[in-house]
Amino acid sequence: MFAVCTLCADMDKKKLLQDVRQYRYAHEHEILKEFFDLLTIPNVSSDAENVRKNALFIRKMMEKRGINVRILETEGNPVIYGERMSSDSRQTLMFYIHYDGQPVDPSKWTDSSPFTPVLRPGKLRAGSSEPKPMPLPGAGEPIDEDWRIYARAASDDKAPISALLTALDALDRSGREVKNNLKFIFEGEEEAGSTHLLSCLKKHKDYLDADILFMCDGPVYFTGDPTLFFGVRGITSIQITVYGPNTSLHSGHFGNWAPNPANNLARLLASMKENSGRVTVKGFYDTVVPLSELEKEAIHNIPKCEEDLKKLYGFSGTEGSGKTYQETLQLPSLNINGINSGWVGDQARTIIPHQAVASLDIRLVKGNDPDDMVQKVIAHVKNQGYHLCDGEPDQKTRMAFPLLARVEVRENGYRASRTSMDLPICRRVIDSFSGYFEKNPLLLPTLGGSLPIYMFSDTLNIPIIGLPIVNHDNNQHQPDENLRIGHLWQGMETFAAIIMMEDR
Ligand SMILES: [Zn+2]
């Protein structure tokens, strides 16, 4: 009996996928035309006037799909909020997307036109302007999945807006009833640090409830397959300054006798990590919340990409004592961003520098508190015999302590987030994909990067799942940002599966 039901469900899903595809085949031109119009409105976060034009355009796009829209004003760019409630009133799915984009320098773009979308029959070849742009084919003409659209925000993050709303079109047109309530939060200043998002969420908290929130941003996994991520790492960053003599000294007159801060800083940093990459700061791994069996299994099922990544980035040795790439992302990291002391190359001078500075970031995983992790590093510096100063040491301090350093927190960090894959709602999300695509989606317990998801989890107390759709080689935040059209289509299909997910 059970097997039969599973089979029926799988057939329903196949039919759903087929219907979405049929709709898309018949409307590719129309979908891309609307998307091009959206991409034509400049959306750099600091350009408030144009960002608002985007908001109004998106509002119309949403209203066309029967979504009730409210523009939520903030002290900065508006948040677009939308609702499409079902009479069945089943579970409520909420989607977060941002509609602003990164700044642009048109002179660095191959077509010098970040806000005039350009279609190319393939990916731009490195260092060339080939393949050449082509016009958007007319209605009914074929469009290849490997063609790409070049424009700012083509991937980050307007693609999900198009994919999500056209998925609704496909479902409505197929005569399906959408039984889940849908809510939409489209932010207009994510690329400027989401300064007003938290206060906006708090202000409108009353109606921002949902069973699950999908963060639709970022690229799918390297393999290009549909991907769900359940967490992101947090981050905090520090700067360490090691002091030497109160002025740079001649290396001939003083080498072998005066202390060299560059040497001391190198030793101090080296003391924080074993050659294998394991961090030796006391307690660094103590607060890590272990992965569940399901999460471990998910990691095990992610295709191995280590050899490709090594080739791509040109190195053979890795940290992590044989752990896979994914396994290493499940732990906090201590990373040197840069080191500065004296001068090098043509500028090198035969001196003993007066100080040496290193900037570091600590990526955090679930369980790590940013302040606590910084305190652990500070304790380590002290344990290495350093006296810590609040600022430039005065003469008295210099005479009292042979090893002097200063540790500054560069910016306030934030915690990691990770939704448990074991929650019933997460199981249902995962189930909505099984038997839908050829392959099941890749499930990533956490992304390596950081996003301030805590703003949502702390304020709204809703489980959060990351639902990226765009190609990983999209030049996000850079010139020649692009979207592979096949990923827009796959995104539509992904959203359709989610929107139709069962409530039990
Ligand atoms: Zn983004």
| Whether the predicted pLDDT of 362 surpasses 90 | yes
Instruction: Quickly list DSSP for 168-223.
Output: HHHHHHTT----SEEEEEEES-GGGT-TTHHHHHHHTGGG---SEEEE--SBPPTT
Segment 107-124 mean pLDDT: 96
d(CA 220, ligand 1 centre) in Å: 12
Whole-number pLDDT of residue 102 = 94
DSSP element (H, E) containing 465: strand 464-466
d(CA 476, ligand 1 centre) in Å: 8
How many CB atoms are located within 10 Å of the residue 152 CB?
A: 27
CATH 3.40.630.10 placement within the chain? 2-122+145-232+416-499
Least confident range from 234-243, 247-256, 407-416: namely 407-416
d(CA 205, ligand 1 centre) in Å: 23
Rounded to whole angstroms, the Cα distance separating 393 from 147 reads 59
Give whichever of 3-17, 190-204, 351-365, 407-421 has the largest mean pLDDT: 351-365
How many CB atoms are located within 10 Å of the residue 124 CB?
A: 18
8 Å CB contact between 148 and 122: yes
8 Å CB contact between 149 and 39: yes
Q: Enumerate residues 6+ apart whose C-beta is below 8 A from 194.
A: 187, 452, 455
d(CA 102, ligand 1 centre) in Å: 9
Pick the CATH number of 2-122+145-232+416-499 from 1.20.120.420, 3.40.50.9100, 3.40.630.10, 3.40.50.620: 3.40.630.10
Segment 97-125 mean pLDDT: 96
Beta strands 404-414 and 234-243, pairing class? antiparallel
d(CA 299, ligand 1 centre) in Å: 24
Band the pLDDT of 4: cuts 50, 70, 90. low
The percentage of the chain sitting over the pLDDT mark of 70, rounded to a whole number, equals: 99
d(CA 217, ligand 1 centre) in Å: 5
d(CA 480, ligand 1 centre) in Å: 15
Whole-number pLDDT of residue 449 = 83
Segment 200-213 mean pLDDT: 96
On average, the pLDDT of the chain sits at: 95
The percentage of the chain sitting over the pLDDT mark of 90, rounded to a whole number, equals: 88
Rounded to whole angstroms, the Cα distance separating 47 from 189 reads 10
Whole-number pLDDT of residue 177 = 94
d(CA 454, ligand 1 centre) in Å: 16
What is the reported pTM?
Answer: 0.88
d(CA 468, ligand 1 centre) in Å: 10
Rounded to whole angstroms, the Cα distance separating 143 from 221 reads 24
d(CA 31, ligand 1 centre) in Å: 21
**Burial per residue of 35-44, b for 16 or more beta-carbon CB atoms within 10 angstroms, e otherwise:** bbebbebbbb
Rounded to whole angstroms, the Cα distance separating 490 from 470 reads 9
d(CA 99, ligand 1 centre) in Å: 9
d(CA 180, ligand 1 centre) in Å: 26
Q: What is the pLDDT of residues 66-82, one digit of tens each?
A: 999 999 999 999 999 99
d(CA 72, ligand 1 centre) in Å: 20
d(CA 156, ligand 1 centre) in Å: 5
Q: What is the pLDDT of residues 334-347, one digit of tens each?
A: 999 999 999 999 99
| Residues less than 5 Å from ion ligand 1, measured at CB | 156-157, 217
d(CA 455, ligand 1 centre) in Å: 16
The CATH number that domain 234-288+331-414 falls under is: 3.30.70.360
Whole-number pLDDT of residue 1 = 44
d(CA 216, ligand 1 centre) in Å: 8
Q: What is the pLDDT of residues 446-485, one digit of tens each?
A: 988 888 788 888 899 999 999 999 999 999 999 999 999 9
| Whether the predicted pLDDT of 280 surpasses 70 | yes
d(CA 215, ligand 1 centre) in Å: 10
Q: What is the pLDDT of residues 149-185, one digit of tens each?
A: 999 999 999 999 999 999 999 999 999 999 999 999 9
d(CA 190, ligand 1 centre) in Å: 7
